[in-house]
Structure formats: structure tokens, C-alpha cells
Structure 1
Amino acid sequence: MYGMLLESVQHFVQLEYGEDVWKLALQMSECKHTVFSTHQVYPDTIMTSLASSLASITSKSYESFMMFFGKCFVRFFSNYGYDATIKATGRYFADFLDSVDNIHSQFRMSYPKMKSPSMYLTDVDENGGVLVYRSHRHGLTHYVMGQLDQVAREIYNLELETTIIKSEKIPSSVGKDVSIVHLRLNFDNSQYMCSKNRETTSFIDRHLPAFSCDLLLELFPFAIIFNPTLTITGCGGKLVEVAGGKEKLLGQLFTKYFKLRRPKGISFTWQNAFYLKSVMFEIEVLRVELIKTRMEENKADENGDNLGDDLSNRDIEIDGKSISPYALRRESQPGLRNILLKGQMMFLGDINSIIFLCSPVVNDINELPDQGLYLNDLNPHGLSKEMVLAGWQHNSKLQLVFDKAEQRATELENNHSLLDTWKRRGDDLLYSMIPKPVADRLRAGSNPLSTCESFEAVTVMFCELVGFNSTTVEDAMELVSTMNAVFSCFDSLMDRFNVYKVETVGQIYMAVCGAPDKNDDHAQNIADVSLCMVKHVRQLKIPSGTKVDVRIGVHSGAVVAGVVGIKVPRYCFFGDTVNTASRMQSTSEPGMVHLSNSTKELLPKQRYIVMKRGTIQLKGKGNVITFWLFENIYNDDEYEES
């Protein structure tokens, strides 16, 4: 479906339910489009998915939202002036219902990919009538009901009550089933019925002399007359030229050389042609079938009645040119393209026949050679010639406008995609500097000072990279390369153990567990990641081949944390716990995890091996007892599973 239908849905859902509900509906329906372009074609499933999502959000029914969408479209298309087309269709609502197919046909130039349904009115009375709705799309019945209700209320000032009489699906020749729904429309139709009765009375009072059908066929050179058995009894002069002689068509079945294109979803029968007199028909002339018949007749003339020879490889001559049978199967072959006839079925009671009053559909002057037609073939009393010439003059300008509109729509779609990409990258960068819960509070407008809070129990870890000195430029480059490899490895371990990386300062790596997300297992998580870091750095292959190691210090206690800075804001930790953990790291040894007593008391007794180091002197703390941490029974694979 075209984007204009989805534009109307977006506009009125945002207007009546709010922006938040619309965004949630897009997310639930997994719709990737946030903006819809009027002339772009989108999958039909988007509308039904949005209706289902909105029904779940608001606890209303799916059918009510489909009707709401139909009303939204009628309210929305007045922005494009399409309501004027409906108002000009007829005086009464029944006139509009009779002309829905014709309205769709008129918009085919603006919306060439439109797959419109077919509708016609039957059993008309003073209280309404029965509308037959046919479509290859399924699940849009209530959408159509919403459109009809809004048109009746807004344009014709009528109260409409619609009920579904029956609904069925029948197989189609194109492979997809056709949905046929009979709708009973109850509305005040008394004025329309009075108008029809006056027309009938006036027609009976007229006394006009009879005239020959040949006059009709002269006025409409592409017209066709057929009887109740669908046998062709007359045809216009220009159609005779296309067929190669009237003897080719007279006496033949209508369906042999002609194919019904519109109304869609119905078969071409006498009853349909008789009852759908107000509906615009489109009939395709099967040029290939006419030429095949001519080939067979030419072969019969040459060889008598023996048609046993193979005709598949025989060329024929058309307008002085030799055409192969293979070329007949190509619609693009100049002069052989099928002609589309558009017009109205009229019943001729005097001869009990129907005449198809029609003209060929020519969108551009360049199509005339493809169809084997000329300007003088068109109806002399109509506007066909003028429309073809005017369309040829303005076609280039319209094409340029459409191309620019499509280009801008594509650019807009690409810009929205880039916007989402850069927004995602910006979020990733922000969350790498500030924890996600804190960053979301800042983006919501909270004061940075409000992010400061105290945590009673966290575990802080400092890890220093040791094993080399940087005295030259080459050594410094090697140090940077090594630190990048090691710290990237450490970063991948943080999320596995629910530990927050605070920062790196030089060769020091700082991490915390228990803040900003509180965690009762903060000491155990830091112990696990520390042992994993020691093991990984020994196994890590450094690009320069340098042998490096780490020394780690861990301490548990209370801290204060908050966002600091404006240009490069950071989520920083303050307090004696941070200082003590730093002293534990500076007094540690390569390849060892140095624990304070407070951390040791928080660890499970059987999970680790904790060895007493003894008494050491810490700056600002004096002599304290510390411990070494070793893994017990857990290997690296089990760490990965934890």
C-alpha cells in the first residue's frame, strides 16, 4: 500500500493517543519505518500489525482500530484535495458507491502501483443497499467500513450503519484467493430512489425514432456488441482494422480475443456485465490470439483444410514486416502490444444485447506505435487526442517532479537510518564513559549533582601492568600496544562478572563491583575477575612478544560516587576505600592478588584459597594484616560459565 494511508494512521494516532503510544506501537509491530513517504509503496502487513499492537496497548479490539484507520484516511486525504473528487462524483451517497471503482481508476496515473479493490452496489432501496467488496487483500474489511462511515458522515451528512452479511474466499487465476464480502449499508436513501423513479418516468414519456447500431459503431470505433451467450455480433471499424477484418471477430466468443482487467476479482459473464452498468470496465485486446488465428487461416488457404503442419516456426507478415512466433510472445514488440479498452457496458433492449462503449487507453504519445495505433484512430468527438498530446507535453515535467520526490524520499529514509546509527554510536560512547542508569538520568534532565550518592558496601580493585620500562620512543610505542592488548582483554571480562570498569590511568586499571548497581556478591565477583585477569595476562600473546604481568590490590568498604566534569564527564569514586585499595595494589607483587582483611571476610570460605601474607605497612593505615588470594577448584572454563 502507498505511504499516504500509513501517513494518515501515524498523524491521527499521534494526535489522539500521543507520541509515546505511537512509538510503542512501532516497537511492538517491529516496524522499521518511523516516517512514511506519500508515493512510496510499503508492505500491507504494516497496517494490520499496527492495529494489533495498538489493540494490545489500549485493550481495544483489532476491528475497532481498523475502522479507526479507515476514518483517519478519509479525514487525512482532504489535505490533498481528494475530498473534492468525492463531492463531484454524484449528488447522493449511492452515486458515490456506484463510482468507487471509477474513482480508483482516475487515480491510477498518480498512483500507478495501486492495487485497488472492486466494489459495486446491489439491491438498492430507500433504506440503503448491499455493497459487494472484492479484493486480493485479506483482513481490510473493517478498514473499508471505517472509510464508508466517515465519507457518509463528513461529506453526505448521513448516519451509516454497516453489517457484514457474508464473507467468502474464492480461488483466483493469479494464484491468490479473492476475498468477497457482502455488506448491508443502512442509510437514508429516499432521495436517490425518488431521483431514479423520475428518470424512469421521463424515459418512458420520450418518443424517439429507432436508429441503426451501425451509427453507434461509427461514433465508437472500438465498441463491441455481444449477446447473452457472449457471442460477438458487432464491432467498431478501428477494432476491425486491429483484428484484420470483422470476419475474424463476428460470431466468436468474447472471451477468446478479449480479457477482463477491471473490475478485479470477477469473471466476465453476461450477468456481471448487465448488473455492473455503472462500473468502468477495462478490457484487454489479445493481439497475439488474433494473429495466431490469422496464421492458421493463411496456412489453411495455402494447404487446403490440412492444418497438420507445424506453425510454431513459421514467420508471418504484418504491415510489410516479417514477424516470428517468438516475437508474438513479447509484449514490447512494436505494433503488437495488447490494447487496453476502457468504457461502460450499456444494455440494448431492442436487440437483447450489450454494447461496450469504449476508447483505447493511451497514457503517452510514445505508446501509440507499440499498440499499432495512430491519433486519427481515436474517437473524433472525444478528448482522447487532446489528452494524449497534453500528456506528452507535460509528461517530462511530471516525471521530473516524481523523480525528485522519490529521490528526496530516499534521502530522507537514508538520513533517518544514519540518524539511528549515529544515535546508537553516541549511546555506546556515553555508556562507555558513564554507567547506563546514571546516563539515562542525565539525559532525562536531572542535575549532575543529583547523581552523587553513597554506597555502604562495594569492592574496589586496582591492577597495575608491570614487566617493562619505557625509555625511548620505540619503548613507549611498544608500551601503548601492549596496554591496548591487555586492557582490551580486561574489558571483555568486566561484563562477564558484573563488574564496572571505572577508568585507566597510565598502567593502572581500576574496577568496582557493587556500584552503581548494588550487588551483594561484590567481593566474590571482584575475586573471580582478579584471578581471571592474572591467568589471562599470562596466556595472552602480546604482538611485540614482551613478557608482562600484573599486580592486583583489592579492598572492600564504603564509597561516594558521582559524575564529575563538563567537557569529558566521568563517573568517579571517592573515599578511604579507594585509597586503601590503591595502597594494596602498590604493595602487591607481580602475578599476585593482594586482599585486605575486610574483603577476605566477605569471601565464601570454600571457594578460594586465602593465604596470610603477614603484617605490612600501608601509608596512612600503619601496620595491617593482609592476604594473598589463589583459586581453589575452579578452572578458567568454569569461570566462563559463572
Structure 2
Amino acid sequence: MAPRFEHKSARDGICNVYGLATWKRIVEELNFEHESFSTLGRYEENLIEKIAECLTEVLREGSPETYMQFFGECFVKFFTTYGYDKILRVAGRHFRDFLHSIDQLHDSNRFSFPKMKSPLFHVTDEDENGAVLHYKSKRRGFQRYVIGQLKECATRFYNEEISVRIQDDISTNEYSHIIFRVEFNNSSARESSKRLQNVPTLPDVTSSTFFKVFPFCILIDPSMRIYHLGKSIKNLFSSNTLLSGRYLEDVFRLVRPDILLGWSKGQMKLIAHWNMVAFLCHPVLSTTEEMLSLGLYLHDLNFYDGTSEILIAGMQHARTLQVAIDKVTKLKDRIPFEHD
């Protein structure tokens, strides 16, 4: 059982497109206690799929997959209506930027919804005609829902008409793993590549300066062994922990992006004259309690990014949200639900 925005957005979408009478019929068929959903309520994990199946039977047209995609579109519209679209609008100038930023967008919600288990997304290949997008989740049957979300985001925020097809399904018993081929005008990928090639040549910096700027840096040799760690990342371990010379995967686990950990992947910088790869990472923190439990302080964080500012702003937002939730919960206990 889990709290879901998807139920309320699906309900709103059905009422807006197919009418309130259709929704009332679904409520009756599925024996819902109320005609509305609470964003704070807890519902069955597969309830949205049951609604899609019931809608198919009530309308006598389409398929559950058709309406799962429709519900994905409704979810984006719901977020837009309630003002959550601002974070989506700043994801990037182009749709490809959005695809590359989906995981970051999910991470940004960890302050508001700390218990939310977000799916994983990452782009593996792209060309001028589109990109290959991997989707991985513990939940089953949501591939068409994701397609609806992608298409609605492309249209609404980037004025882009896209097509999405399932290129492969490599799901296991543990999780869904769907590979999408997303077709769209991706000429910006070539422009981005050109900009990266036309960077000026700058003088070398000393290793001392480098590790001051990147206190969470991990230096890795070609055999994927740890050669050196930045000061702040060392502070995460006890002083007698042997780290240098150990294989990276023996000490760390790659969570995002969901790819095989290998040489020159992700935020890696090849330093040719060292014959090393530097991984420029940063801690993902949600609360001061979590920060203190790791033995970290604000002055340990990177100079070059906004981790500390995001952490402080996120905690303030979380407190505001908690106050609002507490108020709604009290009202919920005092006022009975009414039918629409």
C-alpha cells in the first residue's frame, strides 16, 4: 500500500474527458468507499491498473494499455494544474535535456516525499532523430503510463511531437526494465557535442588545488582500483579503514544512473598524464540528521555546486510541507468525506 498522486490525477482525467457519470460507474464497479481520493491516503499498489481495466469495460472501447497511457498524460496535467510544473519547465532548453534530467527531477522530490521510491531513468544512446531511454522500476505494468508522461511533457513543455515505442523488455523477477526508443528532433545533441569540442585550452592546476575544489573526488586507475580520495569523502569512513588500492565496487555502489560501473562513465574526467579517471561526485542528503550521522558538515561540501543551499532550502520546504500535512490530517479526522 502506498500514497499515490496517480489515483487523483486519473480520477480528474476521467471526469474531464469521459464525464462524472463514467467515474461514478467505476466507483460502483470497484466498490470504492468514496468517490474522491486523498493525496495522503494509502491505496492498493495495482489500483490504477484496475481502474484502467474497469474503464475499458465501462466504455467498451480501447484497452487497459490505452488508458494507462491516458493516465500518464493526466498525471502531467495534474502536476501542471497544481503548480508542480515549474521544476519540469527548468529541466532544460530542449527535450533531450529533459530526458537526461529525469533522475535529477526525481531526486529533487526527496525533501517533499522522502519515502517515495522513484523509478530509474537513463539515456544510453542518442542521435539526431531521438534517443534510447532505459526505465527501471519495482512496479509492474507501467510502461504505457511512462509513454503517456513522456508524450505529454514533450508537447506541453517543449512543443515537441514525439513517438515512443518499446524497443526491448529485459525485466526480471525483481524489477521492470523497459528500453524505449524515443523519436524526436534531436539536432540539439549535435550542437551540444560541438560546444564541448570547442572549449579553450586552460593551464593545468596542481593536484593540491584540484582536491580542494573537489573534496568528494575519487581517483581511479585503469583497473578500477581506488588511487586517491578527496578529504570530505574520506571523512565518511573511520580513520583505520583501508581504501586505497581496493576495487571501487568493493567500497561503493552505483545507484544512479542505473548502468554498469566502468571506466570513463558518467561524471568522469580522464586526466591523461596521471593515467587516472577522476569521478566528481557529491553527497545526496535529505536532512541534517542524515548529514550528522555520516559525520559531514556544511564546510565539507563541494565549493562548486549548490548542495548546501539545496539542503537548507529543502529542509525549510519540508518543514512547511509537514505543517500543511498536519493541518490536512487534523481536518481529515474531524470532517467526514463527502460524495461529489
Tell me the TM-score normalised to structure 2 length: 0.88
Partner of 1:288: none
Whole-Å separation in 2 of the counterparts to 1:234 and 1:42: 48
Q: CA 1:155/1:146 → structure 2, altered by over 3 Å: closer, same or farther?
A: same
Q: CA 1:395/1:13 → structure 2, altered by over 3 Å: closer, same or farther?
A: closer
Q: CA RMSD in A?
A: 2.7
Partner of 1:189: 186
Whole-Å separation in 2 of the counterparts to 1:393 and 1:110: 10
Indicate conservation of the 8 Å contact 1:137/1:178, yes or no. yes
Whole-Å separation in 2 of the counterparts to 1:37 and 1:221: 44
Query: Counterpart of 1:129 in 2: which secondary structure?
Result: strand
Indicate conservation of the 8 Å contact 2:151/2:162, yes or no. yes
Cα deviation, residue 246, structure 1: 8.6
- The answer to whether the aligner puts 1:377 opposite 2:289 as a matched pair is no
Choose the corresponding residue for 2:261, options 269, 283, 295: 269
Partner of 1:114: 116
Cα deviation, residue 234, structure 1: 1.4
Indicate conservation of the 8 Å contact 2:131/2:183, yes or no. yes
Q: CA 1:410/1:95 → structure 2, altered by over 3 Å: closer, same or farther?
A: farther
1:359-401 CA distance string (max 9 Å, x none): 3344333444422233333335554445555666676554322
Bigger Cα Rg: 1
Choose the corresponding residue for 2:230, options 225, 236, 240: 236
Whole-Å separation in 2 of the counterparts to 1:410 and 1:133: 38
Q: How does 1:578-593 map to 2 (within 5 A)?
A: none
Q: CA 1:356/1:17 → structure 2, altered by over 3 Å: closer, same or farther?
A: same
Partner of 1:26: 27
Partner of 2:243: 249
Whole-Å separation in 2 of the counterparts to 1:114 and 1:68: 23
Alignment gaps of 5+ in structure 1: 172-176, 278-344, 421-642
Indicate conservation of the 8 Å contact 1:31/1:46, yes or no. no
Partner of 1:158: 160
Whole-Å separation in 2 of the counterparts to 1:158 and 1:401: 36
Cα deviation, residue 186, structure 1: 1.2
Cα deviation, residue 141, structure 1: 0.2
Q: In the alignment, residue 372 of structure 1 is paired with which amino acid?
A: G
Cα deviation, residue 83, structure 1: 2.1
| Number of aligned residue pairs | 336
Indicate conservation of the 8 Å contact 1:227/1:354, yes or no. yes
Q: CA 1:409/1:107 → structure 2, altered by over 3 Å: closer, same or farther?
A: farther
Of stretches 75-84 and 210-219 in structure 1, the one that deviates more from structure 2 is 210-219
- The answer to whether the aligner puts 1:67 opposite 2:64 as a matched pair is no
Whole-Å separation in 2 of the counterparts to 1:71 and 1:228: 45
Indicate conservation of the 8 Å contact 1:229/1:270, yes or no. no
Whole-Å separation in 2 of the counterparts to 1:200 and 1:222: 24
Whole-Å separation in 2 of the counterparts to 1:408 and 1:24: 28
1:218-266 CA distance string (max 9 Å, x none): 2122221223433111111122233244972110122222233434xx4
Q: How does 1:213-362 map to 2 (within 5 A)?
A: 213-245=207-239, 248-263=242-257, 266=258, 268-270=260-262, 274=265, 277=266, 345-348=267-270, 350=272, 351=274, 353-362=276-285
Whole-Å separation in 1 of the counterparts to 2:298 and 2:183: 47
Partner of 2:132: 130
Q: In the alignment, residue 182 of structure 2 is paired with which amino acid?
A: L
Query: Counterpart of 2:194 in 1: which secondary structure?
Result: helix
Q: In the alignment, residue 127 of structure 1 is paired with which amino acid?
A: N
1:147-197 CA distance string (max 9 Å, x none): 1111111221111111111112225xxxxx12111111111112x134224
Query: Counterpart of 1:260 in 2: which secondary structure?
Result: coil
Cα deviation, residue 43, structure 1: 2.6
- The answer to whether the aligner puts 1:407 opposite 2:336 as a matched pair is no
Partner of 1:99: 101
Whole-Å separation in 1 of the counterparts to 2:72 and 2:330: 29
Partner of 1:179: 176
Indicate conservation of the 8 Å contact 2:254/2:261, yes or no. no
- The answer to whether the aligner puts 1:168 opposite 2:167 as a matched pair is no
Q: In the alignment, residue 64 of structure 1 is paired with which amino acid?
A: T
Whole-Å separation in 2 of the counterparts to 1:66 and 1:193: 31
Q: In the alignment, residue 328 of structure 2 is paired with which amino acid?
A: A
Partner of 1:201: 197
Query: Counterpart of 1:185 in 2: which secondary structure?
Result: strand
Query: Counterpart of 1:155 in 2: which secondary structure?
Result: helix
Q: In the alignment, residue 295 of structure 2 is paired with which amino acid?
A: G
- The answer to whether the aligner puts 1:148 opposite 2:70 as a matched pair is no
Q: CA 1:134/1:369 → structure 2, altered by over 3 Å: closer, same or farther?
A: closer
Query: Counterpart of 1:210 in 2: which secondary structure?
Result: coil
Query: Counterpart of 1:243 in 2: which secondary structure?
Result: coil
Whole-Å separation in 1 of the counterparts to 2:271 and 2:194: 20
Cα deviation, residue 3, structure 1: 3.4
Higher strand share: 1
Q: How does 1:417-436 map to 2 (within 5 A)?
A: none
Cα deviation, residue 268, structure 1: 4.9
Cα deviation, residue 124, structure 1: 0.8
Q: CA 1:396/1:15 → structure 2, altered by over 3 Å: closer, same or farther?
A: closer
Indicate conservation of the 8 Å contact 2:111/2:314, yes or no. no
Q: In the alignment, residue 374 of structure 1 is paired with which amino acid?
A: Y
Indicate conservation of the 8 Å contact 2:10/2:74, yes or no. yes
